[in-house]
A and B are shown apart, each in its own frame.
Chain A
């Protein structure tokens, strides 16, 4: 867990700066100017070709990430695309019409998926916030055990957990219910929420909050007025992470919901299995698109907060 503190932000190399200084201190003053010369000549000659190579790697990465996305988007409007044409022969809006009119339930399913994911995001973030406060501010005993418990759902595969929890959910009266689905999604999302909230809570600390209390603010008010604004970037990224995880769940939804709780991840699988590329592509694009919209709204909010904090 020690390496977690380096995971925050690639650009804020806070934990590394003092090492840099130490190495510089040790360097012989006389050799500094010589080193500078050498560095300059290297950036001119050597790193030119190497950087080109690295840029080629990045270009390939971008190409392979977007290629399937573009081909799938093309499939959504494809009428006929026979072998071995490289591009579709005819285009149509049939699949789009089918998506919106054919199954009138898409609207409902989308609403259900969004509702479940939103509740999971909310609960996951609040629980993670409370957990982080207990471990980082109150320094509750058994922090090592808590940190291992938080990792547990990452170590136990979702399939195993889902098959183990099903009977328990049924006994609790939560089998085939939305509440049961929310509960298993929460388990899948919580590790990430706890990691994010623990990091930011440790970074924010409680000094300012204590000062507010010394100045006469109550504990509740000092928390909501002083700490929450500082925690906000973490709260938002925890919520967006939990949202995406819940939105993506297939197997856990299938088992906890018993096929009765329908989400977008669930309803698109039969189309993939039937081999209808056009329709499964339409669902895929709808799925990713609707998830990304939420993700970017959260990202935009985080950026806005970060910027207003800087100024």
Chain B
């Protein structure tokens, strides 16, 4: 009897310790961002650092850049990912070589994705050369500055290359399942394939696609490597800016960097919460019938 109580506790201990570490990091950010750093004689707890950060135009600009990158990357990745997923399901290529190909970008680290992006999208990259060969541009300076530009298109496209296959891969199981059961049933009852896809398969696959969307949004919002390597110097992406504030040697400035981390943290938690609530409603709406 006693053993039955102790064994699960022992089993969960290492996981619990790691979770404590994550929570400690979060608490550390929250406490420091509110201005409490006894080591440096900062005792006053206030929202001062948040308010000051949020009133600086550079910070707001940088926040805007990151929201834009995250939103565009997530929307494009979700749309393209869904199309790839549907194509995989429709052609029945849900395993084998095709699936390994789709998984490849998921395995490629961001630093390498940056190298790939430069090779294709730089003003002297392959696409610019093809445009020149086709007579579309007269010189490489005429090719749009996708990299290092203020619009962050290079960063967005780099995220789409990596994350559209991610969404396709992680929605595949659900979509294949729905399509093989309810989608096919609808077609057998006379629905056109288009109708069965848009009215049955796509709505039922939404939980997986929405989850992918949220994960990509949080990744792209909080990501460091791609905007650091492919983004502009002004405005900087929010995590890049945060890190610059973070490594300033004056420790009295630390709460400012931590307030910026706090903003990212709150945004991510809000996104996760929206997702959780959305899923709950979606599950209630369609769950009843499908869970059977």
Chain A interface residues (CB < 8 Å from chain B): 2-3, 6-11, 13, 15-20, 22-24, 27, 35, 38-39, 42, 46-47, 50-51, 54-55, 57-58, 61-62, 64-69, 71-72, 75, 83-86, 126-128, 130-131, 133-135, 138, 140, 146, 149-161, 163-165, 167-168, 183, 186-187, 190, 194, 244, 247-248, 250-251, 265, 268-269, 272-273, 277, 280-281, 283-284, 287-288, 291-292, 295
Contacts and interface: CB of A to CB of B under 8 A. Distances in A.
28 contacts: A6-B177, A8-B173, A11-B94, A16-B177, A16-B181, A51-B90, A65-B161, A66-B101, A72-B115, A83-B129, A84-B128, A86-B133, A127-B18, A133-B11, A146-B12, A155-B272, A156-B265, A157-B218, A158-B222, A160-B222, A160-B264, A164-B261, A248-B111, A280-B118, A284-B112, A288-B109, A291-B107, A295-B107
A284 B115 contact: yes
A133 B18 CA distance: 17
B188 interface: yes
Interface string B11-28: 110110011011111101
A155 B218 contact: yes
A287 B264 CA distance: 30
Given A11-B95, A19-B181, A138-B8, A281 B261 contact: no
A146 B129 CA distance: 52
Nearest to A68: B116
B181 to A, nearest CB: 4
A297 B204 CA distance: 35
Main secondary structure of the interface of B (DSSP, over half): helix
Contact of B119 (A75, A153, A168): A75
A307 to B, nearest CB: 13
Interface string B177-212: 110111011011110110000000000000110010
A138 B118 contact: no
Given A84-B133, A131-B12, A163-B243, A61 B84 contact: yes
Contacts of A190: 15, 18
Interface string B150-187: 00000000000100010000101110111011101101
**Interface magnitude class on chain B:** 35 or more
Contacts, number: 293
Contacts of A10: 94-95, 172-173, 176-177
Contacts of A35: 188-190
Given A155-B218, A157-B223, A244-B107, A38 B190 contact: yes
B281 to A, nearest CB: 13
B178 to A, nearest CB: 7
Nearest to A130: B11
A298 B26 CA distance: 34
Nearest to B175: A10
A138 B269 CA distance: 30
Interface stretch (B48-56, B71-79, B283-291): B283-291
A240 to B, nearest CB: 9
Given A58-B93, A133-B11, A153-B22, A287 B111 contact: yes
B222 A159 contact: yes
Nearest to B290: A19
A84 B129 contact: yes
Contacts of B101: 61-62, 65-66
A154 B170 CA distance: 15
A185 to B, nearest CB: 11
A27 B186 CA distance: 11
Contact of A154 (B87, B93, B218): B218
Nearest to B88: A58
A199 B172 CA distance: 17
A149 B222 CA distance: 19
Nearest to A244: B107
A291 B107 CA distance: 8
